[in-house]
Amino acid sequence: MSDPIQMISALLNEIAGRADVEGSVEWYLRSNLIDYKRVLLRRTSSEEIEFATGALMRFCAEHLDASAPLYQDCAEVAEEGAKMAAQLKAAHP
């Protein structure tokens, strides 16, 4: 399993220049990724991570081209976050 926290950090670095344009897709994506990273770092509950994963994927599906690399990166982050939720759920049934 890849580390979703590191993946988010790398993706934030990748979009940094474009994310400074208020109202751009990258600007909104940065906000979503920062919120998602906070949830993953807290590891409060698997349900919270699952909810946040769903929210991130909805944003990506609604605002990004599914064939674009940015969408693929976003989906990979969400997939790793979902794995983290599953591990947390298994550890605390």
Give the count of domains, the chain.
Answer: 1
- What tokens appear for 71 in the block? 């969408």
Q: Where are the alpha helices (DSSP H) in 43-93?
A: 46-63, 69-91
71 is in which domain, residue-wise? 4-91
Count of C-beta atoms within a 10 Å radius of residue 22: 7
- What tokens appear for 50 in the block? 């699952």
Instruction: Quote the CA–CA distance of 4 and 80 in Å, as a whole number.
Output: 6
Question: The whole model's pTM is what?
Answer: 0.91
Q: What is the pLDDT of residues 15-56, one digit of tens each?
A: 999 989 999 999 999 999 999 999 999 988 999 999 999 999
Q: What is the pLDDT of residues 53-68, one digit of tens each?
A: 999 999 999 999 999 9
In a 13 Å sphere around the CA of 89, the CA atoms on its Cβ side amount to 11
